[in-house]
A = this chain, B = another copy of it.
């Protein structure tokens, strides 16, 4: 099969790999229908995160179950499934608490499972899925989704689940005022999640016309292009002299975290899903003085998918709109370039 391999900074290749087979009785093999490039895939691509050896890459995919291990009873060949961005067991205390990203048997696509077997990356034609019953979510009644549905289902792997996580962490709910910092796919999904959870006012911080358009389509009531103190002043002005009840931080830099933190009203909530980099921090004393709560981290996508899936299937949300580019898998190197150069918001790859 063909699969995307990262060899080092800027060096993405699509290569031949052995077609995966069931290794363990709890495995299934999924034939990939669609995968995509994540903002976090750009860290090794940009050399921010080292690549020590050529590695299969990609952690967001949907597809059809092809073969199943002997212990698999809740999935069958032909089932259409969504893969969350990590493998989880569904039975450890962390999974039972809904925090599947802290699973005792956590494993990542392109890494190794608990027993030391290699796991395929998501940006390929097929993937062996360990702990398949607890990891995958079956999409009932679907065998071949149309393009729009395919795109929306794929967002549940990561970005829509992550936007939802940010919104929950920021305590978004009916009547709340919301600011979303970050206009990447996750930030845009954060806008959609906030709208879905009933926010009254949603201010999207964005400087790019294409992203602003999607934010508005997703439910943003206002766009603020200013940053820093000017951005905070604009938020305050829009909200009648006060700051926001809920702020979603969807970038992870020092600047974006400061922007987010200073947009929250006293006693408000900050939800952060941007991986903290470049000195991003939330000083404890500032939190104490303002009574601002902060929560976030990697989204337990597996926990959220069933609820979000229902709304996708009902047509209530259409998060797939974040994909502005579709390319064949063979063009993965160009997909990375397009995302790196911010020519694309998010690229969907068809195997």
Chain A positions within 8 Å of B, measured between CB atoms, are 93-94, 97-99, 101-102, 169, 241-242, 245, 257, 265-267, 269, 272, 275-276, 280-285, 287-298, 300
Contact = CB atoms under 8 A, between A and B. Distances in A.
A257 to B, nearest CB: 7
Contact of A267 (B97, B245, B275, B282): B97
Contact of A285 (B266, B269, B276): B276
Contacts of A284: 257, 272, 276, 280-282
A293 B293 contact: yes
> Copies per complex?
2
Contacts of A102: 266-267, 290-291
A319 to B, nearest CB: 22
A294 B271 CA distance: 11
Contacts of A293: 169, 293-296
Contacts of A282: 282, 284, 287
A284 B260 CA distance: 14
A93 B297 contact: no
A287 B291 contact: no
Given A97-B265, A102-B266, A267-B97, A298 B294 contact: no
B275 A97 contact: no
A289 B102 CA distance: 8
Q: Which of A282, A294, A295, A298 has the most CB of B within 10 A?
A: A295
B294 A294 contact: yes
Closest A-B pairs by Cβ, 7 of them:
A293-B295, A99-B267, A102-B266, A291-B297, A288-B297, A276-B284, A93-B242
15 contacts: A93-B241, A97-B267, A102-B291, A267-B300, A272-B288, A276-B288, A281-B284, A282-B284, A282-B287, A287-B296, A287-B297, A288-B298, A289-B297, A291-B300, A293-B295
A288 to B, nearest CB: 4
A267 B169 contact: no
Nearest to A102: B266
Given A275-B288, A280-B284, A97 B298 contact: no
A245 B295 CA distance: 14
Contacts of A291: 99, 101-102, 295-298, 300
A294 B270 CA distance: 10
A284 B295 CA distance: 10
Contacts of A283: 281
